[in-house]
Chain A
Amino acid sequence: DGGITQSPKYLFRKEGQNVTLSCEQNLNHDAMYWYRQDPGQGLRLIYYSQIVNDFQKGDIAEGYSVSREKKESFPLTVTSAQKNPTAFYLCASSPSPDRGPEAFFGQGTRLTVV
């Protein structure tokens, strides 16, 4: 089945540690995204990538890093520089604009810093 897989679903991290969230898609989509959701807030864009080996900062990129070495994969690293990392993280992908505007989301990873 085609889709977007995020792992793990729940993640606990000690303060001061870096952690990497996985996102894989087999939809052959060009673009991939990372969003963050906090209680009572919308989805805020962290990073996005339109093509392999290229990515752009979103609205809240500070304290995060990404890589796009393969079309299928877009891992997000939450570094110790991120001041408030506890949140629900969502990965998404979309085809090129001429093949439709919809982005499709994974099931999310809930990160808790303890």
Chain B
Amino acid sequence: DQQVKQNSPSLSVQEGRISILNCDYTNSMFDYFLWYKKYPAEGPTFLISISSIKDKNEDGRFTVFLNKSAKHLSLHIVPSQPGDSAVYFCAASPMGTYKYIFGTGTRLKVLA
């Protein structure tokens, strides 16, 4: 049973436009959500996180929105740049644990 789901395996966006990556979860006991960016044959790099007590967190071009009632979070990248082309993973950490549960990733392609 997959607790963190990224239902879109891929997304293409024109340079300069907004990229919206989505993530759904099933466990209401997650207290942190994180987004990672990954290039092939490299380790994921941390992008941005959000606590379950917030509904928005912003860092430069990256904003994460959390809708607890819908058990849904999204990552907005604006404006999108060709260097943003990568696989993006959503992850969640259950309350009181050190564990991280990852989604299957969404491959973003930003077209120049």
Which A residues fall within an 8 A CB radius of B? 4, 6, 30-31, 33, 35, 40-45, 48, 50, 58, 88, 90, 92, 94, 97, 101-108, 110
B41 pairs with A110, CB closer than 8 A: yes
6 contacts between A and B (CB under 8 A): A33-B98, A42-B105, A43-B89, A92-B43, A101-B49, A108-B42
Residues of A within 8 A of B96 (CB): 97
B102 pairs with A104, CB closer than 8 A: no
Given A48-B98, A50-B98, A94-B98, answer yes or no on A105-B105 (Cβ-Cβ < 8 Å). Answer: no
B41 pairs with A103, CB closer than 8 A: no
Residues of A within 8 A of B44 (CB): 43, 90, 105
Given A42-B89, A45-B99, A94-B98, answer yes or no on A88-B45 (Cβ-Cβ < 8 Å). Answer: no
Interface digits, B87-110 against A, CB 8 Å rule (1 contact, 0 not)?
001010100101111111100000
The 3 A-B residue pairs with the shortest CB-CB distance in the complex, in nearest-first order: A105-B43, A101-B32, A42-B104
Chain A minimum-CB-distance residue to B101: A45
Interface centre among A41, A88, A101, A108 (most CB of B within 10 A): A101
Interface centre among B34, B51, B101 (most CB of A within 10 A): B101
